Amino acid sequence: MRGSKLKKTANSFMKNVVMLIFSQLLIKVLGLIYRLVITNVEGFGDTGLGYYSSGYQIYSLLLTLSSIGIPSVISKLISERIAIGDTKGAQRIFKVAFRFFTILGFILSIALFLGADFIATNILNVPDVAYVMKVLSPAIVFVAMSAVLRGYFSGQQDMKPTSASQTLEQFLNCVLSITFVYACIGKDAYIMAAAGNLSTTCAIIIAFMYLLMYYKHKKLSTKGSLPSPEKQKSNKQLLKTILGLSIPITISSLITVISGVIDTATVSNCMQTLYSGVETSKEALEEIAMSAAGILSKVDTLVSFPLAINLAFSTALVPVVSESLAKKDKKTASKRLAFSFFASLIIILPCAVGFITLAQPILNMIYPTASDGAGVLQIASTTMILTALSQTMTGGLYGVNQTKIPAIATGLGAIVKFILNLVLIPNPNVGIYGAPISSFVSQLIIFLIYYKVMNRYVNMHIKFKTHIMKPLLSVIGMGIVVTLGYNLFSLAFGNTVSTILSILLGAISYCAFIVFTKTLSKEEIMMIPYGTKLYGVLVKLRIYK
pLDDT, tens only, 305-328: 788 777 766 666 556 666 666 666
Q: Pick from 258, 317, 293, 305: which is nearest to 64 by CA?
A: 258
3-state secondary structure 215-246: HHHHCCCCCCCCCCHHHHCCHHHHHHHHHHHH
Instruction: Report CA-CA distances (Å) from 541 to 386, 522, 524, 528.
Output: 35, 15, 18, 19
Q: Pick from 340, 445, 448, 349: which is nearest to 399 by CA?
A: 340
- In 322-378 the beta strands, taken as DSSP E runs, fall at none
Distance in angstroms (rounded) separating the CA atoms of residues 87 and 85? 6
pLDDT of residue 411: 87
Measured over the CA atoms of residue 252, residue 468, residue 302 and residue 373, the dihedral's sign is positive
More confident residue, 26 or 469: 469
> Quick one: pLDDT band at residue 14, thresholds 50, 70, 90?
low
Predicted confidence (pLDDT) per residue in 148-178, tens digit? 898 888 878 787 888 888 889 889 988 998 8
More confident residue, 98 or 220: 98
For residue 266, pLDDT beyond 70: yes
Within 13 Å of residue 343, how many CA atoms lie on the same side as its CB? 25
**298 and 286 in contact (C-beta within 8 Å)?**
no
Please give the full DSSP string across 445-514, using - where no structure is assigned.
Answer: HHHHHHHHHHHHHS-----IIIIIIHHHHHHHHHHHHHHHHHHHHHHHS-HHHHHHHHHHHHHHHHHHHH
Residue 278's contacts (CB-CB under 8 Å, 6 or more residues apart) are none
For residue 492, pLDDT beyond 60: yes
pLDDT of residue 354: 94
For residue 371, pLDDT beyond 90: no
**156 and 320 in contact (C-beta within 8 Å)?**
no
Q: Pick from 133, 136, 135, 161: which is nearest to 146 by CA?
A: 161
Give residue 157's region: left, alpha or beta (phi > 0; psi -120 to 50).
left
* Arithmetic mean of pLDDT over the chain: 81
pTM above 0.75, yes or no: no
User: Which range has highest mean pLDDT (171-180, 193-202, 271-280, 493-502)?
Assistant: 493-502
Average pLDDT over residues 471-480: 93
Question: Which three-class secondary structure state does DSSP give residue 151?
Answer: helix
Give residue 295's region: left, alpha or beta (phi > 0; psi -120 to 50).
alpha
Task: Name the maximum alpha-carbon separation found in the chain.
Answer: 76
Distance in angstroms (rounded) separating the CA atoms of residues 234 and 237? 5
For residue 3, pLDDT beyond 50: no
pLDDT of residue 385: 92
Helix axis angle, 470-492 relative to 330-357, nearest 10°?
Answer: 30
Instruction: Report CA-CA distances (Å) from 111 to 122, 138, 201, 247, 516.
Output: 16, 10, 16, 20, 57
Q: Pick from 483, 479, 471, 482: which is nearest to 514 by CA?
A: 471
Distance in angstroms (rounded) separating the CA atoms of residues 95 and 148? 9
**151 and 71 in contact (C-beta within 8 Å)?**
yes
Dihedrals phi, psi of 31, to nearest 5 degrees: -60, -40
DSSP 8-state assignment for residue 157: T
Q: In terms of residues, how long is the chain? A: 545
pLDDT of residue 443: 92
Helix axis angle, 495-516 relative to 359-366, nearest 10°?
Answer: 130
- What dihedral do alpha carbons 26, 32, 33, 36 form, nearest 10°? 180
Distance in angstroms (rounded) separating the CA atoms of residues 443 and 381? 12
For residue 5, pLDDT beyond 50: no
Give residue 401's region: left, alpha or beta (phi > 0; psi -120 to 50).
left
Distance in angstroms (rounded) separating the CA atoms of residues 361 and 482? 12
pLDDT of residue 13: 59
More confident residue, 304 or 280: 304
pLDDT of residue 440: 93
Dihedrals phi, psi of 381, to nearest 5 degrees: -65, -35
pLDDT of residue 322: 62
Among the ranges given (7-21, 227-241, 459-473, 511-525), the one the predictor scored with the smallest mean pLDDT: 7-21
Distance in angstroms (rounded) separating the CA atoms of residues 322 and 242? 15
User: Which range has highest mean pLDDT (254-258, 328-332, 431-435)?
Assistant: 431-435
